[in-house]
Amino acid sequence: MQLLLTIVFLFCSLGISGFIYYACQWYRAWYYCFIPLLFIPIFFLLFFGLYIGIIFFISLFMDKKKTIRKPNPFWYFWIKQTAFLLIMLSRTKVQTEGLEQLNRGKRYLVVSNHISTFDPMLAITRLKLDPLICVTKKENLKIPICGSFIHHAGFIPLDRRDSHSAVQMVKTATEYLKENQSSIYICPEGTRSKTEELLPFHPGSFKIAKRAGVEIAVCYIEHTNQIVRHFPWKRTRTAIRVLSILSKEDVETKTTQELAMLSQTIMQKFKENKR
């Protein structure tokens, strides 16, 4: 379903290009047959621009102060569609590994390293754990378009300077998992690493799994920090890998500090083996 908008835009672009081709009678000369091929990407970008304009207009009427108590599949659907389009249009190729370890019938706490704003997009579009609700910094709710949509979809805001906000985040995420409403994605580092080296993991992130009694999917994301740097001249090859699943027994018997250290060790060993 995440291809829906892409397919719609593509077919509309093909249709309009074909109409122009026949209306201008370019079919009379074989050397004109390549002209519609030039129009297709142009019309695709125009449709994408129109789409952004429409969702921006809609976002103006969305109340960011409204209390959201559970994930909303409707708004999540449009977030996932938009994330897939942004990844595609940014010329990003995504490699996936280890997805067979995930059971689509289960809910997980998904943790990963954090190097770019594209990290949640890869998780949402590639892990196939719909819905996968993200814990996001409170400031992201102020971003035009994005802020309104992620709020209404049920993304969980976190004010990193407010301990009460952290308590509320853990409570909300735990409820989502216990009530089988969604899986949860969080970056235990708490902020982006500018060097790609792993920053210390915050043990509080792992309280979610302990209180909800769910397994932890330890993932590793690569090269998303190069997307903006490469665009539009160079394709970026990124990857999201499921490295390990920490069982319920691990979650129950280990402290949050031990879970944080174990997750970070798994990522660090993978990172070192890649060198």
Task: Assess if residue 67 is contained within a domain.
Answer: no
State how many domains the chain has: 2
Residues of the chain with pLDDT under 50: none
The model's pLDDT over 48-64, given as tens digits with 9 standing for 90+, comes to 999 999 999 999 999 98
Specify the CATH number for the domain of residue 151: 3.40.1130.10
Q: Are 52 and 77 within one domain?
A: no
Instruction: Tell me the two tokens of residue 18.
Output: 């074909």
Q: Are 186 and 86 within one domain?
A: yes
**Closest to 80 measured CA to CA, from 140, 1, 183:** 1
Task: Assess if residue 136 is contained within a domain.
Answer: yes
Q: What is the pLDDT of residue 275?
A: 67
Q: What is the pLDDT of residue 30?
A: 72
Task: Assess if residue 65 is contained within a domain.
Answer: no
Q: Are 85 and 147 within one domain?
A: yes
Q: Are 42 and 153 within one domain?
A: no
Structural domain containing residue 175: 73-274
Q: What is the pLDDT of residue 150?
A: 96
Q: What b/e sequence results for 81-108 when a residue is b if at least 16 CB atoms lie within 10 Å of its CB, and e otherwise?
A: bbbbbebeebebebeeebbeebeeeebb
Q: Are 52 and 78 within one domain?
A: no
Q: Are 26 and 87 within one domain?
A: no
